Structure 1
Amino acid sequence: MRLRLLLLALGTFAVGTDTMVMAGILGQVADDLDVSVAAAGQMVSVFALAYALLAPVLATLTARWRRRRLLLTALAVFTAANALSALAPDYPTLLATRVLAAAGAALYTPTANAVATALVPPERRGRAIATVLGGMTVATALGVPLGTYVGRGDWRLTMWLVVALGAVALLGLAVFLRELPTPAPAVGLRERLAPLREGRIVAAVATTFVFFVAFQAVYIYLAIVMRPATDGEAGRLSLILLVTGIASVAGSWLGGRVVDRWGVRAVLLAASSVAALAFAALPWLGLTMAGALVYAAVSPLAGWTFSVAQPHRLVSLSPAHAPLLISLNSSALYLGMAAGGGAGSLAMTLLGERWFPLLSTTLALAVLALAATTTARRPAPLQARPATEDAPAQRETARVSSPSDD
């Protein structure tokens, strides 16, 4: 049982590494394929946009598939797509392979969560989901700096690392994962989007989107803004990304606890304020290694604390739609990641490599204002529509709060 959960987590670790490691190898990709760093950054945007748009569509189209078949197919597509990325001869081909990798990831992650709950008794479902999602969080602490270090001389080696991780998870699950019961009929695409008719839900989803535009506009181009501190050395950049990953894990752990103690509104306001200050200080912090490490610790701590609070906020608005609302929050997160690449590229063009984080400062302040005006101290749940999934499943899903739950 434990082995199968760990193999599922290894798959999410591969997905998380693939999603976030591009920030550390943009320069190598740009040089190898003879494109600008800003153009190379669009790989992240393309992946995130494809993930956000394909996730609900693919979930609907594959609703009748058996879970084992769906899980292995998704992981096979993801792994093969990364192999094609490693072999891509030019920039357009690389972008196409990123779309294919996103399709596999968009199928794998939610399926892995569902499989995890089927492997354990009801009283252990929360811990099972936490184990699987832990692979995504650990990717920020270990996978990203490892991938950056491996690809310091050749970015294609980083892609082969992701291929190896995906292949091991695929082989292990093919051997040790037995067939699972056919899932209950899935919710249709139209019903998945029905909660967006509620104004408070739209405001919450929009808050997630704007925040991740701000966060990713800097993170994707972190190697650029940190160049004065790192002097272009891969080892120094890997250290910064390692601190970023550790702070991300700490923020995820801290988020659930401070939300219970302070409430969602206080956490959202505090985290967005800290993020705005960190973005505003980055043009100066990025000049020295000490300053860069301060930013690497503070910004993701605030970002992941914020990210944990948002699913809590959505679930409190409409508990009956908890699974659907968390899914919509994840789509908004990835759409924000996609837009962040373009926003960061535009800001770099207009403001320069040192000052482009000021765009993220402005966006974080907009998030602060949005959260302040659209959250209540004790929000009343919206009138629930007829439940579309069994109540135990809803209760279990409501317990999960992660920016990577998609």
Structure 2
Amino acid sequence: MSGGQVPVWFLLACALFVAGCADCGRELAGCTEACTERGECGFSNRGAGDHAFRCFVDSSESCQRALVCGAEGRCHYAPAVHPAQCVAVADSDCEQSTACLEDGRCFRQFDGSCGESAPVGDEPSLSWCEEQDECRLLGRCSAHDGLCVAGSPSECEQSLGCEYYGACGLSGGFCVASSDDSCGDSTECRLYGRCRVSDDGGPPVCVGAQRSRGDGGYCHMNCLAFGACFSTPGGECQTLEEAERWASVVSGSSGPPGKAPDSGVPNNTAPPQPLDIPTLQPDFSITSEGCTERMYANFGRVLAASNDWIAAVGSDDGVSGELCVGQVGSSGVTWTQLLAADPELSENEGTYFGADLAMFERTLAVGQINDGQADGPVLFFERRDGVTYELVSELLPALDDPDAPGSDFGFSIAGDGSAALIG
């Protein structure tokens, strides 16, 4: 299959194989584990972004066969409660679960999960819904029939889900991607080319667009970052391996089980074609020379840059090391400072200093994971004199037990100069 060619005999063999085995299409789609564990047994060859398929819940029967039913009491597909997950619809679902027997979570909650106590009243209050993350993220700010739901288009339009995922339209109490315009204005479109609404039988989401958007086309960033340079008739950006697997499966089925092929999207009878993207050549390379005398095996494992400043972490075998900070010029980088963990900042002397970085304007945020024994802190440095970064603050997670191991606070950091997002 070199050169992107998919032989006809291969497509025919896969078509016969899929037709003769009810679960083979799901297995080739990579949804077997999702089906067994979470009831996500429906699959589509569109709407998967950088992967060939996406998996979704398609029936209560799928939920009842899944591990999540016995373990967590989530045995039903109820789109009014959640459009894409199995949920509990009554206390009896929770009472028969492992979550009830072992953890005491025997009461059905408003969001379809099982909790340790029954919700107060028949439905959540308006103020309770407005305080939940689902309001800010998903637009579910109104109380109705025992649920927090999206009660108006404005709640959807003001949510982060609208900005990031194009979920700006109201449908059945949920915010969904309802138009190509909302998808086209979303972060999903700008970064990953998911610029139109899906029509594959699953929950409406933004998927790959067949028209080009932006410089280099909608696969441009995926091609540069992930090698996903191939455009399929379904409008996805895929690697050659994913495109070949996509072709082998859709030759026998182009949608979820029981759904007729979409006449608007032809089967992939022709090999995927790579986009015409120019090869990028580096202007220069950076090393630790001039910053530190240590020779790191993983110098540049984590990088951050803002304007003409850059920061690079050097480490050995994933263990924390040092952080080089410098200015970028036309011929390379001039290192100006070497930062390392202060042993007094944590009990573990700064294990995993530089787990992640974020640089914005004059601020440098450094994640410091303490080997699972304590969380954080995330360290904030400020460039005070135009050249030197000084430690100005530390941030710890707002947890009941800040010394609880395993949360890895500071493993992922992002920011835009006005706020920092820390995972």
Please report the TM-score for the alignment, with normalisation by the length of structure 1: 0.19
**Higher normalized helix content (fraction of residues):** 1
**Higher normalized strand content (fraction of residues):** 2
Structure with the greater alpha carbon radius of gyration: 2
The structure with higher relative contact order (CA 8 Å, sep 6+) is: 1
Please report the TM-score for the alignment, with normalisation by the length of structure 2: 0.19
